[in-house]
Amino acid sequence: MSARLVPGVIAVFLWLTLGAGPAAAYVGPGAGISLIGAAAGLVLVVISAIGVVLRQFLKRPLAGGRRDAIRQPRDTAEPCGE
């Protein structure tokens, strides 16, 4: 872009953006309801994530420190072919 063209482009841009009036558009209730639903879903996800993390950290202390409170995988493999 040449140096002489830049002020004209800026002037046209400012005229178009600052000279525009408010938009007279009706959004409707659907947008607000969907926003409320999305926000509620986000809050529930965060609460669930915090709950899962806290449950893992508090599992043993709430069980009284017993080792058998946390399930250990059992070796249930049987010999094959014999």
For 35-72, give the DSSP string.
HHHHHHHHHHHHHHHHHHHHHHHHHHHHTTT-GGGSPP
| 52 in a structural domain | yes
Parent domain of 45? 28-62
| 51 in a structural domain | yes
| 7 in a structural domain | no
| 79 in a structural domain | no
19: its two tokens: 């000279």
Which pTM value belongs to this model? Answer: 0.45
The count of domains in the chain is: 1
pLDDT truncated to tens, each residue of the chain (82 aa)?
A: 577 888 889 999 888 888 877 777 777 888 889 999 999 999 999 999 999 999 888 887 776 655 555 566 666 667 666 5
